[in-house]
Amino acid sequence: MAVPSGTLVATANYHDAWEMVVIQDSQMLTLNTPGAPVFYEMTNWIASNAASRDIKMVVHMGDVTSINSGSGLVADHEQQLTDASGALAVLDDAGIPWMPNIGNHDYDSAYPYNYTHWTTYFPVSRFSGKAWYGGRNTASSYNDNLFFLFSAGGKDYVLVGQSYNQTTAAQFAWAASVFDAYPSRVGLYSTHSYLWDDGGYTGNNTGHGNWTYNITNDVITVCPNVLLTMNGHDSAGDGQLNTTQTVGGRTVWNMLYGHANNVTLGYLRILRFVPAEGKIYATTYSPHTDTWLTDAPNQWSWDVGVGAI
């Protein structure tokens, strides 16, 4: 697929560059939409372009489905799970690793949260045994907190994914322990809810929930190899933001890609890592409409520094 003129995609040292694709909350692509055709278009595009674009990793920001309305399972929950599982199986079949981040609409019931249906359709066995599979938080019987290990562009990476309802010190300690176990790897952290589109991420028990405070202070701040965070969930405004925070004398780059106004059109966020330039280029594309979004919230570059990626 041709990239439109003016789109920020690096071409120098192409053989070293690689891409990570981020899927925003797909709940509206499965809710009351049998077959989830747009969801399939997204994963089929990724699979078809993985080799030419050197796509190494896919991260889903959670709310894969909308099986829980906030008060219990909805009528078409089995259909949604079947469709979402099938769409993501396209990546499985293509051998493309994808990180799930369970959202607040992917549970059987609200707090204390039940993941039985999720784990039935996305069991541990679906991920374990893969070359990139690092492990999971075995304190839970559900398949809800994972980490992956992969290499791209001459660097080794560790990607940690946590579900929506991380509320205990032990859960954050697990994430920190994974980053600490791989200090020489570049750390990437993903979860359903963290950054909000007003830029808030450190409010302790106010505004955005206490887990944002704990993610910042119990994971990001104490793990010096964490470079980048990703999340979805936020439905305010356009639900998109990229920003930085300074912790421990270093810069951490943050991206919110949540309930954008164009969610039903199946836009993908593409992060292109270019080690030779020390930059990450972000673009946004919809296989459904064959359209690139080139406004500021959807296209930018991060100068993370040569040697950082």
pLDDT in tens, 220-240: 999 999 999 999 987 655 657
Helix or strand (DSSP H, E) at 240: strand 240-247
Our measurement of the distance from residue 258's CA atom to the centroid of its chain's CA atoms, rounded to an integer in Å, reads: 10
**How confident is the model at residue 110, as a pLDDT?**
66
Q: What are the residue ranges spanned by the domains of the chain? A: 14-303
Q: Would you say the pTM of this structure is higher than 0.85?
A: yes
Q: Which of 139, 69, 65, 63 is nearest to 109 (CA)?
A: 69
Which pair of structure tokens corresponds to residue 221?
């701040």
Q: Alpha carbon of 135 to those of 99, 139, 203, 247, 308: distances in Å?
A: 12, 12, 30, 27, 25
Q: What is the CATH number of domain 14-303?
A: 3.60.21.10
Helix or strand (DSSP H, E) at 210: helix 210-214
The whole-chain average pLDDT of the chain stands at: 88
In the predicted structure, residue 111 carries a pLDDT above the cut 70: no
DSSP string covering 28-80: HHHTT-TT-HHHHHHHHHHHHHHHHHTEEEEEE-S-----B-SSSB-TTHHHH
- Determine how many CB atoms are found less than 10 A away from the CB of residue 69: 13
Q: Alpha carbon of 258 to those of 55, 95, 151, 300: distances in Å?
A: 21, 26, 27, 17
**How confident is the model at residue 248, as a pLDDT?**
82
